[in-house]
Amino acid sequence: MARWAPDARERIVLAGLDLFTEQGYDATTVAQIAERAGITKSTFFRHFPDKRELLAAGQETLSRLLSEGITDAPEGASPLEAVAVGLERASGEMGPVNRELGPRIKAAIAASAELQERSILKEVGLAAAMTAALVARGVAEPVARLAAELGVLAFSRGFSAWSESDHGDDDQLAPYALAALADLRAASAALG
């Protein structure tokens, strides 16, 4: 077993998802995940505090990318235009591995109440990061919060459509996320 394998984090996530799918989240132990990933339990715990956090892998990076995009949006951009820049920035970092994992993550979450709860907490964290970035741009808090929630929903819907599509590996996430944001913008206009 390699002690410091360079791709250990990715292998842990893949092993966990495979085991969650094969035998269920509750029946899967950290020891089983570590064994499947070819690492020790202590290496697992260097990367993740517990098995629940496997599905939050990358949340900090995603929050940072969304926030940076919002911060870097052109001056005078509307809140949703700034969110669109954040979505583009974050989407640009998603590649074929993320796309491949999408359906597996969705299945694991659907099969576990604990993972559903963790998924909701992840979305809350993303929305909070986007809200803070919008408020820092001078957007009023209620407007910032609403724009951020729409951004999280657009990212989620776009990611789901992208990961389930039949397009080639060069197909990018950004158009899916931006289309979802446009759909949500249109839907919110219909609210009256």
CATH number for position 171: 1.10.357.10
Residue 26 has a pLDDT of: 87
CA–CA gap between residue 31 and residue 42 (Å, rounded):
10
- Tell whether the model's pLDDT for residue 2 goes beyond 50: no
Residue 143, C-beta contacts closer than 8 angstroms, at least 6 positions apart: 79, 134
Shared-domain flag, residues 85 and 73? yes
58 vs 118, more confident? 118
52 vs 131, more confident? 131
Residue 1 has a pLDDT of: 44
Q: Is residue 159 part of a domain?
A: yes
- Tell whether the model's pLDDT for residue 61 goes beyond 80: yes
Shared-domain flag, residues 75 and 44? no
CA–CA gap between residue 32 and residue 55 (Å, rounded):
17
Range 28-34 average pLDDT: 94
Residue 128, C-beta contacts closer than 8 angstroms, at least 6 positions apart: 148
- Tell whether the model's pLDDT for residue 151 goes beyond 70: yes
Q: Supply φ then ψ for residue 10, to 5 degrees.
A: -65, -40
Residue 109 has a pLDDT of: 84
Q: Is residue 78 part of a domain?
A: yes
What does the longest C-alpha to C-alpha distance in the chain come to? 60
What CATH number did the domain enclosing 44 receive? 1.10.10.60
Shared-domain flag, residues 121 and 79? yes
CA–CA gap between residue 72 and residue 154 (Å, rounded):
19
Q: Is residue 62 part of a domain?
A: yes
Residue 82 has a pLDDT of: 98
Shared-domain flag, residues 102 and 170? yes
Residue 1, C-beta contacts closer than 8 angstroms, at least 6 positions apart: 38, 39, 40
Shared-domain flag, residues 23 and 98? no
Shared-domain flag, residues 168 and 134? yes
Range of the domain at 30: 8-54
Residue 168 has a pLDDT of: 67
Q: Is residue 2 part of a domain?
A: no
Residue 41 has a pLDDT of: 93
187 vs 10, more confident? 187
Confidence of residue 57 (pLDDT cuts 50, 70, 90): confident
Secondary structure element (H or E) that encloses residue 71, with its range: helix 59-72
CA–CA gap between residue 23 and residue 63 (Å, rounded):
31
Shared-domain flag, residues 16 and 88? no
Confidence of residue 175 (pLDDT cuts 50, 70, 90): very high
- Tell whether the model's pLDDT for residue 66 goes beyond 80: yes
Range 8-29 average pLDDT: 88
> Are 25 and 111 a contacting pair, CB within 8 Å?
yes
- Tell whether the model's pLDDT for residue 56 goes beyond 80: no
**Neighbouring C-beta atoms of residue 137, cutoff 10 Å:** 15
Shared-domain flag, residues 48 and 62? no
Q: Is residue 171 part of a domain?
A: yes
Q: Is residue 183 part of a domain?
A: yes
Shared-domain flag, residues 65 and 42? no
Average pLDDT of the residues of the chain: 89
pLDDT digits (tens, 9 = 90+) for 73-128: 999 999 999 999 999 999 988 888 788 888 888 888 888 888 888 889 889 999 99
Q: Is residue 1 part of a domain?
A: no
- Tell whether the model's pLDDT for residue 25 goes beyond 70: yes
Q: Is residue 60 classed exposed, middle or buried when 0-12, 13-18 and 19+ CB atoms within 10 A define those classes?
A: exposed
Shared-domain flag, residues 39 and 65? no
Q: Is residue 3 part of a domain?
A: no
CA–CA gap between residue 13 and residue 53 (Å, rounded):
9
Amino acid code (one letter) for 79: P
Shared-domain flag, residues 91 and 182? yes
Domain count, the chain: 2
Sign of CA dihedral 28, 155, 174, 90: negative
Shared-domain flag, residues 88 and 120? yes
